[in-house]
Structure 1
Amino acid sequence: MTQEPGLRERKKSETRSALWHTAVRLFLERGFDNVSVAEIAAGANVSKMTVFNYFPAKEDLILAPMEAHVGEPARVVRDRAVGENVIEALRRHFLTALRERDPVVGLSDDPKILSVHRLILDTPTLRHGAMAMRERNEHLLVAEFERVVGRPGDLACRLAASQILNVRQILVARTTERLAAGATADEVYPVAVAEAEAAFKQLAEGLGDFGMREG
């Protein structure tokens, strides 16, 4: 008897989660470079091939949650409401993520999430992978800005995308640093919101007409 798609997808999600948690535990205990994929498979009671079916590379066991957000800034710009400028759309999206305590904006005081942030920073391979994702985000955001202004190859689009992603990165880093120092997400939240509001206001002022173009 064929399993219902819902059950099949649930089992796949459970296996993926078990692999991620096992990998994180082993990496935190022994270091990323000192753990093999075979050891992760054994820890999760699956075959090595199963691991690769879910995570094509060892780095993906840590970076996959970040991968899901690649292209998100570009999608926010593309899907914004008619009449909403791009900076306001990105500001709204960032504030919503803060309110929801989304790890993508750094506002999660889950000890495991904080440990993963540190693992990425301390591991050259993972740090390089995270930087590559940031570069893909910028490429996609530049392309979306070029579509908005109707000027392919426009330098202003590249400069705007770089400024916006740099500001986001700084905001996330400041929030993560406060949590790593022992503050709770609830304690950090109002400060993170205030800084985000100020940062996006400066972006809007600095980018001028570009940031105010309507869809």
Structure 2
Amino acid sequence: MSIDTLGLREQKKRETRQAISDHATQLFIERGFDRTTIAEIATAARVAKMTVTNYFPRKEDLALDHHEEFVDGLAKTVRERPSGQSPLVALQEAYLAAVRAQDPVVGFTGQAFARMVADSPTLLARLRDLHEQREAALAGELGVEWADSVAARVVAAQLAGVDRVLFREVQGRTLEGQSAEEIATAMLEIAQRAFGLLA
């Protein structure tokens, strides 16, 4: 099999995954997450039900499809920070950049999506789980640098705690109907205050 064939196959897989995710999100917003079935998503995306579950083993991952990026985000920022920069400064700078970009990973999802998540106990539970995984990944990364695993977990809990508060603030403002621009302007100030308190 040629490299071109492999490249086309991977491109087709990415397109199929994105199409499934897009159709799922549309159905979730229209009908609610808990009332939408995998079979309905498969029909809308014109794929087999098994294809949906092959790409997304958990129904929640259809809605929260950036979960891997989300879980690794804090740890990756710390791992890739410039030499000599503290984890706190690296995370603050990364967060402020994400706010300026109105990145969905920090909560800029739009009102319809935020409402869909807020109305689903299943998705709220999954989101709490993802925040815990995010904190654990950060603790693991800090533990690579520090001999004291308890200290790494304590610092990760503090840093992830600020991140969680800021995420909820973005979502709350979104649900109130504020525009993404209004939220971003407010969050730049709120985030600097929050990280400053932690410092």
Query: Is this a same-fold pair by TM over 0.5?
Result: yes
1:133 matched to 2:134? The reply is: no
Cα distance, 1:4–1:57 mapped onto 2, change above 3 Å: same
CA distance in 2, matches of 1:29, 1:174: 24
- Residue 21 (structure 1) shift: 1.8
Of stretches 1-10 and 59-68 in structure 1, the one that deviates more from structure 2 is 1-10
Match of 1:150 among 120, 136, 147: 147
- Residue 99 (structure 1) shift: 1.5
CA distance in 1, matches of 2:26, 2:15: 16
Cα distance, 1:159–1:66 mapped onto 2, change above 3 Å: same
Is the 8 Å Cα contact of residues 74 and 134 (structure 2) preserved in structure 1? yes
Q: Deviations over 1:14-39 (max 9, x none)?
A: 21121112112222222222222111
1:29-178 correspondence to structure 2 within 5 Å? 29-109=30-110, 114-152=111-149, 154=150, 156-178=151-173
Of stretches 88-97 and 99-108 in structure 1, the one that deviates more from structure 2 is 99-108
Instruction: Name 1:196's counterpart in structure 2.
Output: 191
Q: Deviations over 1:96-150 (max 9, x none)?
A: 11121101112344xxxx3222222221222222211111111121222223222
CA distance in 1, matches of 2:109, 2:126: 21
CA distance in 2, matches of 1:188, 1:136: 26
One-letter amino acid of the structure 1 residue matched with residue 168 of structure 2 = A
Q: Which runs of 5+ in 1 are unaligned?
A: 205-215
Q: Which runs of 4+ in 1 moved over 4 A?
A: none
Instruction: Name 1:28's counterpart in structure 2.
Output: 29
CA distance in 1, matches of 2:124, 2:177: 23
- Residue 6 (structure 1) shift: 3.5
CA distance in 2, matches of 1:127, 1:45: 28
CA distance in 1, matches of 2:108, 2:63: 18
One-letter amino acid of the structure 2 residue matched with residue 189 of structure 1 = A
Instruction: Name 1:210's counterpart in structure 2.
Output: none
Is the 8 Å Cα contact of residues 131 and 164 (structure 2) preserved in structure 1? no
- Residue 193 (structure 1) shift: 0.7
CA distance in 2, matches of 1:151, 1:33: 43
1:180 matched to 2:175? The reply is: yes
Of stretches 178-187 and 56-65 in structure 1, the one that deviates more from structure 2 is 178-187
CA distance in 1, matches of 2:62, 2:130: 15
RMSD: 2.0
Instruction: Name 2:12's counterpart in structure 1.
Output: 11
Identity of aligned residues (%): 40
Q: Which runs of 5+ in 2 are unaligned?
A: none
CA distance in 2, matches of 1:11, 1:173: 35
Bigger relative contact order, structure 1 or 2 (CA pairs below 8 A, ≥6 apart): 1
